[in-house]
Amino acid sequence: MNSNLPEDWSPADNPYSIALSEASWLRATVALTVARMHGEDVPVGWFSSRQIDARTLVVALRQFLAAVKLERTALTGLGMDPAVIAALDDAEQVYLDALPNIKHVRDGLTHFEDWARGEGGGPQKDARKTADPRDVARDFWSFGYDPVTDTVTMGPFTISVSAAVPAANALFDAIYAATRAVDQRTAAELRDQVVQALTDATIPCTPPQGPVLVSQGHDMRVWLSLKLGGVPDAEHKELAERVVTVMAHAGLRLTSSTFPEAQDFAARLVADEPLRVERNSP
């Protein structure tokens, strides 16, 4: 946990960011396990390191779909453009097309207590309509990685290990793009709020009039700075102090990336330093 987070922070505040964070871990897990499976097999006690990694790989690949679910839920709750959600849905389908049996392979692996008795859900449930559970268990059993075919199987279900990394990378990119779309919209809304607050206070902030500049950076942050070339020197401090006061009254705060502990933000603005604008915590 980041010690710089406020005490009232909750992952529920930004679930779309949590989805991206988990997807980052999962992508790294997929890359690591596949690399090891394609490398030298190392005995771990009585077990093969490739077979151990195969189990980790399957779980990681299936969990990617949980990250997509969380991202989709967050996007829907935020009222994001349906096109953003549709792009995520399309990427998920491409992922499933590349790894069509990932759910069944993962279910057989993680629900072995049911699959070993033929009492599992999904395909085992369907098979029990015409077969004895004992026979169902046998037909859907035997998890393993075959280095010759580079596949992982669970009973009749197979996934391609070579398809895992590109599929994971593509789905991660889609989750990242969706998260960035949220950040872009949030930054645009914040910029509009800053401009409105300054305009209401009759402080010009629209180029070329200036002298206050409000910009949305590529870092998805909103920055405020002063363009003092056309302002008499004697009025620099007064203008900066007005800007700081307006921001505070609008429920916004200024922070310095150069001097994180700075308190005199008017002085920072007069010193020609761009300041980051953020909303105060609720």
pTM of the entire predicted model: 0.85
Q: What are the pLDDT digits (tens) for 141-165?
A: 999 999 999 999 999 999 999 999 9
Please report the sign of the dihedral spanned by the C-alpha atoms of residue 121, residue 126, residue 128, residue 133: negative
CA distance 84 to 221: 21
Q: How far apart are CA 50 and CA 271, in angstroms?
A: 59
Q: What is the pLDDT of residues 119-128, one digit of tens each?
A: 999 999 999 9
Bridge partners for 145 per DSSP: 152
**CB 99 within 8 Å of CB 60:** no
CA 275 to chain centre: 26
> Mean pLDDT over all residues of the chain?
93
36 pLDDT higher than 60: yes
When pLDDT is averaged across residues 245-258 and rounded to a whole number, the result is 93
The better pLDDT of the pair 120, 12 is held by: 120
pLDDT at 225 over 90: yes
CA atoms within 13 A on the CB side of 46: 0
Closest among 201, 261, 181, 256 to 225, alpha carbons compared: 256
Lowest mean pLDDT among 8-17, 21-30, 56-65, 75-84: 8-17
Is 246 a residue whose pLDDT tops 50? yes
Bridge pairing between strands 212-216 and 157-160? unpaired
User: Any residues with CB less than 8 A from the CB of 142 and at least 6 apart, and which?
Assistant: 153, 154, 155
Who contacts 68 (Cβ-Cβ below 8 Å, separation ≥6)? 19, 88, 91, 92, 95, 171, 174, 175
Say whether 222 sits in a helix, a strand or coil.
strand
Summarised one tens digit per residue, pLDDT across range 264-282 is 999 999 999 999 999 886 6
Inter-axis angle of helices 15-37 and 164-200, nearest 10: 160
Q: What is the mean pLDDT of residues 26-51?
A: 96
Nearest by Cα to 273 from 210, 211, 238, 227? 227
Which two tokens mark 22?
A: 């988990």
Residue-wise pLDDT tens digits, 64-114: 999 999 999 999 999 999 999 999 999 999 999 999 999 999 999 999 999
Give the mean pLDDT of 217-246.
91
Longest dimension (CA), the chain: 91
| Cα distance between residue 67 and residue 81, in whole Å | 19
Cis ω before 211 (30° cut-off from 0)? yes
Task: Reply yes or no on whether the pLDDT at 6 is more than 70.
Answer: no
| pLDDT on residue 4 | 59
- 153: phi then psi, degrees, rounded to nearest 5: -125, 155
3-state secondary structure of 100: coil
Judged against a pLDDT cut of 50, whether residue 1 lies above it is answered with: no
